[in-house]
Structure 1
Amino acid sequence: MAGLKETTLDPSDIPKGSWVDRHAPKFWRPFLRLARADRPIGTWLLLWPCWWSVTLAAACLQQTPDLWLLVVFGLGAVVMRAAGCVINDIFDREIDAKVARTSARPIASGEISVLQALVFLAVLLTIGLVVLLQLSQTAILLGLVSLLLVVPYPLMKRITYWPQAWLGLTFNWGALMGWAAVTDTFALPALLLYLGGIFWTLGYDTIYAHQDKEDDALIGVKSSALRLGDDSRPWLAGFYALAVALLAAAGWTGGVAWPYYFGVAAMAGHFIWQIVTLDIDDPRNCLARFKSNRNAGLLLFLGILLAVAINASRA
């Protein structure tokens, strides 16, 4: 098929022998693969801004984070990440069929029909709505508005070299929702957290896009990896530096306790490691650096939890 790379290795991004293959009923396996249930990294990247915001709001208010809210956002991240994948794969089914890494995806390969995918999407969105209704009124409104970002995302690669920026707007929306779920308001720390997350996403998704740059150029879709090319490294440093500055400012404007900044500093050190060890011409290297952002998000989260613990010790 035109556009497929010649390789002795299986280029598919669908992992072999995952829990889906081992334990899921045969009928559900294509739907779970469509939802990326065998690849949780996207769920983590969607979830971290939510958990950051819930815990940061609690830290700023000198309260203990609401465990129920953390659970609700965890469920929401799983469901809405799955819904986003379905929307993406419906729009991209013809493109995915021409790219080695994505040609085996359930819709592109014909394993799941578009109609079946739409029914699955309806189920996911219904579950997502039930989860959303557990939140405050402001958070519910923000959640509904987020669909204006989620649905058009797959089209961005057709019209701009910066679909990664749109993904940043979408994936970090939870930074606004988490704060609203705790306070039922909108505040500057949440906005700064959101903006910091956008630049974080610009960094990690540019790294991710370098896996597909040859295929993308061949079939005519755009990405920041193609736009920046060999100059990606200094741009990545800039994206991550802005992310760190904005995340630090989020804590400062909220008056959060000092351990928060250890989390920010640890995250910055992780970004430095990513940039120094990155090889933009090695897809496996890019994928590993991309996936490592789960740990980057965890470092900041631990810093916020330490700030909460300091508050509790002073009470």
Structure 2
Amino acid sequence: YADRKVDGSVKRTENRPLANGEVQANEALSLFSLHILAAFFLVLMLNWQTMALSVVALLLAASYPFMKRYTHLPQVVLGAAFGWAIPMGFMAVMETVPAYGWWLFVANLCWTVAYDTMYAMVDRDDDIKIGVKSTAVLFGRYDVTMIVALQACMLAILLGVGQMIDASWPYYVALVISALLFYRHYQFIKGRTREGCFTAFIENHQVGLVITLGLLLQYWLA
């Protein structure tokens, strides 16, 4: 909804339902309201601490789409919005957020900024023309370097988290495989082509899957 007037000027998004008129603005707002209402009823089932954290989640999710008009760091806000589920999950189950929970949040933030910068690289030429801001525009010719640095930070933090939770070998194997996947992403993005950057962005789900499987195997063996 927030991008309905700019999506038509971007090659990747020109056929989105709101941009091409397939869906009307009032229909999108109605669906958004329904989602918020459903989320509100769900959070009422949790403790008050998680309810308090959900207010932050709502503010992050609602403000993110507008950030590209005011800052070159909308990817950071997106990372915070996605990652806020981590402290909320800990609070809902443990009624506290341990130190490694916050480190997981930071790791997820680094990862999100990295892969969403790949995504922004796809649209960078169009974004510059229409005045939309992003980390891809901000980083400029250092975009690939910054992505690699963010990926390295993510892996370093997860390595430290593994020490905090006394993780076993499947977890660390998952991190090694993730590093190899990141190297594969580098091969796609180093040429800065639209197709390569988009492919690297899409393949990031494999990293999340590998780490999840590593954790599941670790707890299964335990």
TM range (shorter): over 0.9
Residue 178 (structure 2) aligned to one of 255, 262, 267: 267
Q: Look up the match of 1:119.
A: 30
Q: Distance in 1 between matches of 2:168 and 2:44?
A: 32
Q: Distance in 2 between matches of 1:224 and 1:244?
A: 20
Aligned residues: 222
Query: Given the alignment of the two structures, is residue 305 of structure 1 paired with residue 197 of structure 2, yes or no?
Result: no
Gaps of 5+ in 2: none
Q: Distance in 2 between matches of 1:265 and 1:138?
A: 36
Query: Given the alignment of the two structures, is residue 102 of structure 1 paired with residue 13 of structure 2, yes or no?
Result: yes
Residue 56 (structure 2) aligned to one of 145, 151, 176: 145
Structure 1 residue identity aligned to 2:116? D
Greater CA drift, 93-102 or 276-285: 276-285
Does structure 1 retain, via aligned residues, the 8 Å contact 2:17–2:23?
yes
Give the CA deviation at 1:289.
0.7
Q: Look up the match of 1:255.
A: 166
Identity among equivalent pairs (%)? 33
Equivalent position SS for 1:266: helix
Q: Distance in 2 between matches of 1:234 and 1:179?
A: 33
Q: C-alpha root-mean-square deviation of aligned residues, in Å?
A: 1.7
Gaps of 5+ in 1: 1-89
Query: Given the alignment of the two structures, is residue 236 of structure 1 paired with residue 177 of structure 2, yes or no?
Result: no
Aligned runs of 1:1-315 on 2, under 5 Å? 90-311=1-222
Q: Distance in 1 between matches of 2:73 and 2:191?
A: 17
Are residues 264 and 133 of structure 1, via their aligned partners in 2, closer, same or farther at CA, if it must alter by over 3 Å? Answer: farther
Does structure 1 retain, via aligned residues, the 8 Å contact 2:188–2:197?
no
Q: Distance in 1 between matches of 2:53 and 2:112?
A: 20
Structure 2 residue identity aligned to 1:155? F
Q: Distance in 1 between matches of 2:57 and 2:70?
A: 20
Scaled by the length of structure 1, the TM-score of the pair is 0.66
Q: Distance in 1 between matches of 2:30 and 2:210?
A: 38
Give the CA deviation at 1:279.
4.2
The one of the two structures with greater contact order (alpha-carbon pairs below 8 A, sep at least 6) is 1
